Amino acid sequence: MSRKLVSFDWAMKKILRQKANFGILEGFLSELFKFDVEIQEILESEANQETKDDKFNRVDLLAKNENGELILIEVQYNDEIDYFQRILYGASKLITEYISKGKGYTKVKKVYSVNIVYFEIGQGDDYVYYGKTEFIGLHNNDKLIPSDDQQERFNINSISEIYPQYYILRVNQFNDIAKNSLDEWIYFLKNEEIKTDFKARGLDEAKEVLRVLKLDETERAKYERREENRRYKESLFYTAEIKGEKRGERNKAIEIAKSSLEQNIDISTIALITGLSVEEIERLR
């Protein structure tokens, strides 16, 4: 019998930042990257600072591994048509943030960008995508590789090892059939449940640490309220789409706010759900 677990984005915000729980994050990343990951610390940067939208929309976590490389993990719920550009910006921003002034380009940090999305992004049949940078000959179609000196000096075999690497997990496209250890993690990301026969690294610890019942009373109330608000928001957006709402996100938010006011929902909750300011909602009265 499975036990209710908190969502991964809540865990990233509240639980996985604690050193005692690094094993959960290490397990997930090791299964995704296909090599062992050891987290040294959780960092703060402009890329993963919380915003008002984080309460429903997105959560980021920035970690540094044993090699000093940066791993940015983002959970994104709401559809963003420019999300590919945002992924690029996030990785690029980290590179510039974490190179010391006056240092040479040899100090550029390797960045892994892990994006867990719950909306339709791009077109494709798979639910896990991987991207890296390579240079291919325009005439001979050969791949440019580092010189012997560069390979020795920087301990690399290919140029792509220097550049950011990108992972996109399209969670909603997963069919709930876990064929391997990474699929077991994606099953958890989608369903907030870990089956008893799952063996992927980090999941045994996650089953214990991420139980909703382990939250104290205050945190559990916050979590349940947040999940209720998220479900309510999704329901309202779905209803707006069914009614043929085509007038853009702001107009949709206004319609949702009006509907919420008619149902006597408090203004602070409406503001969280719609992204409108309290003043804007007051004017709608």
* Per-residue pLDDT tens digits for 175-218: 999 999 999 999 999 999 999 999 999 999 999 999 877 788 88
The answer to whether 210 and 6 have CB atoms below 8 angstroms apart is yes
Alpha carbon distance 22, 16 (integer Å): 6
Task: State yes or no: pLDDT of 249 exceeds 70.
Answer: yes
Chain mean position to CA 193: 18
Residue 201, classed as helix, strand or coil, is coil
Contacting residues for 144 by C-beta, under 8 A, at least 6 apart: 134, 135, 136, 137, 159
The answer to whether 7 and 164 have CB atoms below 8 angstroms apart is no
**b/e per residue 57-80 (b: at least 16 CB within 10 A):** bbbbbbbbbeeeebbbbbbbbbee
The answer to whether 35 and 221 have CB atoms below 8 angstroms apart is no
Residue 246, classed as helix, strand or coil, is coil
Verdict on whether the full-model pTM lies above 0.85: no
Task: State yes or no: pLDDT of 35 exceeds 90.
Answer: yes
Q: What pLDDT was estimated at residue 55?
A: 46
Q: What pLDDT was estimated at residue 54?
A: 46
- Single-letter code of the amino acid located at 182: L
Q: What pLDDT was estimated at residue 52?
A: 47
The answer to whether 188 and 206 have CB atoms below 8 angstroms apart is yes
The radius of gyration of the chain's CA atoms, rounded to the nearest angstrom, is: 21
Contacting residues for 106 by C-beta, under 8 A, at least 6 apart: 154
β-partners of residue 168 are 115, 129
How high does pLDDT run on average in the chain? 87
Q: What pLDDT was estimated at residue 275?
A: 84
* Per-residue pLDDT tens digits for 75-107: 998 888 899 999 999 999 999 998 876 678 888
* Among 66-80, 114-128, 137-151, 264-278, the least confident range: 264-278
* Per-residue pLDDT tens digits for 258-284: 888 888 888 888 888 888 888 888 888
Alpha carbon distance 171, 81 (integer Å): 17
Taken in order 41, 163, 60, 169, the sign of the CA dihedral is negative
